[in-house]
Structure formats: C-alpha cells, structure tokens
Amino acid sequence: MSCDYRALAAAGIQTLKPYEPGKPIDELKRELGVSDVIKLASNESPLGLSPRVQDAIHRALPDIARYPDGNGFRLKQALAERHGLDMNQLTLGCGSNELFELLAKAFLGPGDEAVMSQYAFAVYPLVVQAAGAKPVVVPSRDWGHDLDAMADALTERTRLVFIANPNNPTGTWLSKGELKAFMTAVPENVLVVLDEAYAEYVDQENYPNGFKLQRRYPNLIVTRTFSKAYGLAGLRVGYGVANAEITDILNRVRQPFNLNSLALVAAETALADTARLQESLAVNAAGYEQLTSAFKRLELETIPSVTNFVSVHLGARAGAIHQALLRAGVIVRPLASYDMPEYLRISIGLEAENQRFLTALEAELVS
C-alpha cells in the first residue's frame, strides 16, 4: 500500500486512542470459553427493561418500516412537562455521548480549548481532540473536580468546560454552592457542560439540580441519559437542556433521525414508569451497602460514591485481580486507562450478582 491513509485524517484524529468500553459478555465467552458470565462493568441497570417499556416497544414494532419522528416531539413534550422546561430547550441525542460530540462540533475548532478534570469521563477529551481543539486537563482534588483550579485554567481560547456531577469513574459529587460559585466566575461566552448522567441516583440534600441552575446561567448546558437508572443503555437515548439559541445551534449539526422509533417510545414510557425508577434506586442503594460493607470487612479502600458504581483500591494487584475475575466469569472495569491502575470500578448489580463478585474477589485476595 503506497498511500498512508492515516495521514489523510484530520490532525486531531490521527493521534486519538479509541474509547475502550466495558468488555461485552459475548466477547468474554469467546475469549475464555466461560459460559456463565455476569457483567458489572458499564454502570447499566441490573433490572433490565420494565414490562411497561417492553409492551410499548412491542406495540411500536408494526411501524418500524417508517422513519421515526426526527424531532422527537412526544419525548420532548414528556421531558418538558416532567422537568418544567420549554421544548425549545431540548436536544435529543444517541446517548449523552452524542450531545458532547455535537457541542464539540458546533463550538470548537483548531486553536480552541476545552477545560475538564482529571479522572473524568474519557469521552470528553476524545470529542475535543477530534474537533481539532485542545483538551486542558486540570488535576483532580480528592478524586473529584477542583473547580477553583478549573476556573484558573480558563483562557481567552476556552470555549467549553466539561463537568460531570456525579463524576465517572470516581462517583464524587459537587454541591450547589460549589457549582454556583464556579458559574459566577465563568465568562458568559464560555459554555459549561454539566453532565448529570447519574443524577437520578443521588440522595444528597445539597446536590444541585442542573435544570434549575440552567435557568439562572444561560451559558450552562445540562445533559442526562436514559442509559443508567432508566435501564435503556442498549437503545442509546440522551438529551441536553440549554437556552434556545444554543439548542438551535445543536439541532443544526444534529443528524436527522438520530434516535430510532423504538428508542423514542421506550424513553417516553420509561420516563412515565416512576415505580420502576424507584425500584431501580432501591436495588442500587441496597447493593451499594452490600458492596461497601464487604469492602470494609476486607479492609479495602473505596472512593465514596453517590452513583451506581464503586471504585475500589486493590493496589499493584488490581490488573491481576481483574484477569482472575474474568476467568471466574465476572466482568468489572479496570481503570488503568483513566490513570488509576490500582483501582477497579464495580457497577452495582442484583444481590446475587454482587455476592458472586465478592466471593470471587475474596477467593483471589486470599490466594
């Protein structure tokens, strides 16, 4: 081959390293021949689809040959009613990941900068670099965002700031006062992206509601997802809330029909199924207690989390323990790619799944 096709790619993309998702169950079965596998790696809901959502999907199947509603009217209407929003504030995305990509495409270019925290979601620097801009990574404070340092990192080239609240993969969170102080310090021409993918799980009195903050700060964009507490990870539904002018820009670069028909009806139904959401949160709270109590008994340090996952410190053996868990048919998430090589992130599953992980972990620790 005489042509170097990689050199034809945009400059920012040539040096990108692809995002590494959690290992799929089928992949582990193929690699190791393990037949009985549980996955506690990708922060998915262990309950799966509710019966109401399954019924709604089944009823929508006869129209699957038709294109979906490209504007997602019914889902937007339901979200607006639930959260007290105007429909012209909403942008729908194929997961919240697509919202990050749309924001980067719309507001970043060569020479621009986007500020983010160390130990934050790995997709942020990927979309920034792909747009030809520079990710500015600010050192973490106590495994979370150091908002004072992030404010100091702003320059005349800063166009976007990414904040995850709660944060992934550490599970830390920021208070109302912290976020308000930061927003006050940020110039109005710098857009702040508040990623609230895990907001439904938080039970803290001083946790801020991003939608209420957005009413006060027009340069704030809030993103959420149906992939976690609502159990729709495989259907990929996210949404962003911003002022109408920003929303208009995002919808100019959003592809038509970016959400399929089944995803739209599933999200609308899941949003209305409040009983299922409460069940999901109750299972998560019980699972968090189950895991953290066991980690304490095993004298393992964890990062306090308000999400549906816990990151546990296993020291220099973390990589070897991860491989041993895979051989036992238990998939968890190594954090070496986040520069946290001594930690594993454990998604909270059903009680029996959590116990199977703990049994396999303890067996490896004493071996």
Query: Distance of CA 210 to CAs 47, 61, 213, Å?
Result: 26, 35, 5
Average pLDDT over residues 307-335: 96
- The amino acid at residue 238 is G
pLDDT value at 33 more than 90:
no
pLDDT, tens only, 242-268 = 999 999 999 999 999 999 999 999 999
Return all residues near 336 (Cβ < 8 A) that are at least 6 apart. 318, 319
pLDDT, tens only, 186-239 = 999 999 999 999 999 999 999 999 999 999 999 999 999 999 999 999 999 999
Average pLDDT over residues 30-41: 87
Q: Where do the domains of the chain lie, and which CATH numbers do they carry?
A: 5-48+275-365 (3.90.1150.10), 63-272 (3.40.640.10)
In whole numbers, what is the pLDDT of the chain averaged over residues? 94
Residue 350: per-residue pLDDT: 98
What 3 state SS string does 56-69 have?
HHHHHHHHCCCCCC
pLDDT, tens only, 93-145 = 999 999 999 999 999 999 999 999 999 999 999 999 999 999 999 999 999 99
pLDDT value at 342 more than 80:
yes
pLDDT, tens only, 52-101 = 999 999 999 999 999 999 999 999 999 999 999 999 999 999 999 999 99
Give me the helix-helix angle, 95-107 and 123-130, nearest 10°.
Answer: 30
3-class DSSP assignment, residue 284: helix
- pLDDT band, very low/low/confident/very high, at 156 (cuts 50, 70, 90): very high
Phi, psi of 261 (to 5 degrees): -60, -40
Residue 86 and residue 246 in contact, taking contact as beta carbons nearer than 8 Å: no
Percent of the chain with pLDDT over 70: 98
